[in-house]
Amino acid sequence: MKTNFKNKSWKGTQKMSELNLSLKNLTVLPNNMEDFENLTALYLYVNKLEELPETIGNLKNLSVLDLHGNQLKELPESVKELASNLKELHLTDNPIADDKEAMDKLKSWLPNTNIVFK
């Protein structure tokens, strides 16, 4: 069963600081990530995500982004907008974790972030 949130209403989420959508078989995330601008932690581990929306970069307050156990081959360039606050990025068990070039690019975008990929 595939789950997506493209047509869901996120009304009332503006004040949330943590969101855990792990283990939900998610295949996509909404493009309107700016609705979650106050998030400091986003947990999306063990889903079926193959990509993240460009709007992930709007979550400038994130300090933890856990994406381990998905199908991510790359992250959008907008992720570098998270550099000032992102302390931990978990990518273990994603195809991107085995791509040295992609990981080097992420490290250059997020120099102060602990990127967990093994």
Q: What is the pLDDT of residues 32-41, one digit of tens each?
A: 887 888 999 9
Structure tokens that stand for 82 in this block: 């998270």
Domain that holds residue 88: 18-116
3 state DSSP class of 104: helix
pLDDT value at position 12? Answer: 60
Number of domains in the chain: 1
CATH of the domain at 44: 3.80.10.10
| Residue 67 region by backbone torsions, left for phi larger than 0, else alpha for psi between -120 and 50, else beta | alpha
Q: Tell me if 4 is assigned to some domain.
A: no
Tell me the C-alpha distance between 35 and 11, whole Å. 8
3 state DSSP class of 115: strand
pLDDT value at position 33? Answer: 80
pLDDT value at position 11? Answer: 58
Q: Are 39 and 18 in contact (CB under 8 A)?
A: yes
Q: Tell me if 43 is assigned to some domain.
A: yes
Neighbours of 4 (CB within 10 A): 15
pLDDT in tens, 42-69: 999 999 999 999 999 999 999 999 999 9
pLDDT value at position 5? Answer: 53
Q: Tell me if 86 is assigned to some domain.
A: yes
